[in-house]
Amino acid sequence: MTVPRDKATEGFRKSFGSAPDGVAFAPGRVNLIGEHVDYNGGLVLPMPISAGTAVAWRGRADGRINAVALDFDETDAFEVAAPQPTGTVDWRAYLRGMAACMAGRGLPVGGADIAVCGTIPRGAGLSSSASFCIAIGRALAAAGGADMVDPRALSLAAQDAEHAWADVKCGIMDQLSIAAGEPGSAVLIDCRSLNTQRIALPPEWSVMIVQSGVSRGLVDGHYNRRRADCELAAKALGVETLRDATLAQVDAAALDPVARQRARHVVTEIDRTSAAVVAVGARDIVELGSIFAQSHASMRDDFAITVPDIDRLVALLAGAVGPRGGARMTGGGFGGAVVAVMETDAVSRVSSLISQTYRTPAGETPPIMIERCAG
C-alpha cells in the first residue's frame, strides 16, 4: 500500500509545481464496540487504524483554496470566506463544508493549495469521510497559522460538515476518535461529555478488519431513520436521550414495537461497551468475544442494520477465531466491514481460512487489514 503522505507530496509537486509547506494526516477508525450510540450520548470504543487521509498543503495569501483530489483526478477552487454548496455530496462538499464550519466555530482557516489522497476503502464503515474532514481541517488550520487545533473543536466542526453539507446526522464518535485517538490503542469516548480515555489493548492481541464487499450508503436515509427512531423512543420514555434510559424502562413502557427494539439495542450496547472495557483491562479475550457476539446479534435483531452477507461473514470469522476472541459488524450498517479481535498467533490461520471460504458479492477474495495493538 502506497504511503498516503508520499503520494500527497508527489501529487502536490505535479499539480502545483513545487513542494508543499507541510502534510496533514488523519487516520480512519474501526469501532470495536458501541454502534449507533454516539448520537444517543452513549459510550463508544473505537480505534484509529493505519489507513487514512493525507493532505499536502501550501498557504496562500489571497484567501483562495485550490484543491486537487488525487484519487479521482478532480479539482475544486473557491474563496475561503464564501464557500458555496456544489449541489452534490462528494469530496468537494466535505472540503467546502470544513472550511465553512471551521470558520463558523471560530477556528483558523487559511487559503491554501492542497492535494489530498487516502487509503481507506470508501463505503467500508471505516470513516473515510471523517478522516477526510479531520485531515482537511488540520491542513486549513495550519495554512491559517495554527500550530495545532483542539481535537474536540475540530471534531465538532467536522460533525457540522457531515450534518449540514452531506445530510448525515451522525454522532461525534468518528471525528473525535480520529482527532484524539492514538495508534495501536482504543479510545473510550463519552459522547455526552466528549471526555476521552486511552484504553491500551494487550500487545499479544491483534485486530482484523475484513471488507464484506457490500458497499455501504448512509446518505440514502438509513442512518437518519435510525436516529429518528431513537429520538422518538427517548421522547416516549421521557428522557433527553437513550443514554438516560434503563432496560427495565424500555421493557415496561408502552412503546411501538420498532421503537422498543431500537431503544433496547442502544441501552444494551452502552452496557456492552462498559463491559468490553473491563474485559480488555482484564485481558479476558474470551469474555470480549462473547460481548462481540451479543453486540452483533443486537445490531441484527433489534437495530436491523446488518445484511445477509455481513451476517455470513461474521459467522465465518467468529467460527475461525473460536472462543479466544470474537467478531461483529462495525460501522453504521447495511454493508461495510467486519471487525474481529484475536490473539496475534491466530492471525495467519484466520486470515487464510477467510480468504478460502468467503467471497464478496462480486465473487472476489475479501480485502483484509491487520491492526497491531501497541499495549
Q: What is the pLDDT of residue 114?
A: 98
Cα(143)–Cα(44) distance, integer angstroms: 32
CB 118 within 8 A of CB 27: no
Q: Are residues 186 and 334 in the same domain?
A: no
In terms of domains, do 225 and 94 share one?
A: no
pLDDT tens per residue across span 281-335: 999 999 999 999 999 999 999 999 999 999 999 999 999 999 999 999 998 888 8
Say if residue 165 is in the same domain as residue 226: no
Domain stops at, among 197, 232, 265: 197
Give yes or no: residues 250 and 127 share one domain. Answer: no
**110 lies in the same domain as 125:** yes
Q: How far apart are CA 206 and CA 345, in angstroms?
A: 9
Q: Say how many CA atoms lie within 13 Å of 14 toward its Cβ.
A: 12
**Residue 219 — pLDDT band, cuts 50, 70, 90?**
very low
CA pair distance 221, 369, nearest whole angstrom: 28
- CATH assignment of the domain containing 78: 3.30.230.10
Give CA separation, 214 vs 31, 65, 263, 308, in Å: 18, 35, 26, 10
Same domain for 188 and 46: yes
Q: What is the CATH number of the domain that holds 270?
A: 3.30.70.890
DSSP state, 364? P
Instruction: Just list the catalytic residues.
Output: 174
**What's the mean pLDDT when you consider all of the chain?**
95
- Determine the pLDDT at residue 134: 98
- Does 221 lie in the same domain as 246? yes
What does the alpha-carbon distance between residue 171 and residue 184 come to, in Å, rounded to a whole number? 23
pLDDT band at 127 (very low <50, low <70, confident <90, very high): confident
Quickly list DSSP for 257-294: HHHHHHHHHHHHHHHHHHHHHHHHHTT-HHHHHHHHHH
The Cα 359–Cα 357 span in angstroms is: 7
Alpha-carbon distance of 147 to 145, in angstroms, equals: 7
One domain for residues 336 and 218:
yes
**Residue 1 pLDDT > 70:** no
The per-residue pLDDT for 169 is 85
Beta strands in the chain (DSSP E): 22-33, 43-60, 64-69, 74-79, 111-118, 185-190, 196-200, 205-211, 325-330, 337-343, 368-372
Domain end (from 197, 227, 254)? 197
> What DSSP assignment string belongs to 20-43?
-SEEEEEEEEEEEE-TT-GGGT-E
Q: With cut-offs at 50, 70 and 90, classify the pLDDT of residue 374.
A: confident
221 and 145, same structural domain? no
Of the pLDDT bands very low, low, confident and very high (cuts 50, 70, 90), residue 351 is: very high
Same domain, 259 and 117: no
Residues 189, 270: one domain? no
Q: What is the pLDDT of residue 216?
A: 66
- Kindly report the pTM of this predicted structure: 0.91
Per the structure, the count of domains in the chain is 2
What is the tens place of the pLDDT at every residue in 232-267? 999 999 999 999 999 999 999 999 999 999 999 999
Lowest mean pLDDT among 67-81, 161-175, 213-227, 358-372: 213-227
What percentage of residues in the chain have a pLDDT greater than 90? 89
Pairing of strands 111-118, 64-69: parallel
The residue out of 133, 164, 197 marking a domain boundary is 197
131 and 110 both lie in a single domain: yes
Give the pLDDT mean for 67-83: 97
Range of the structural domain that residue 317 is part of: 200-372
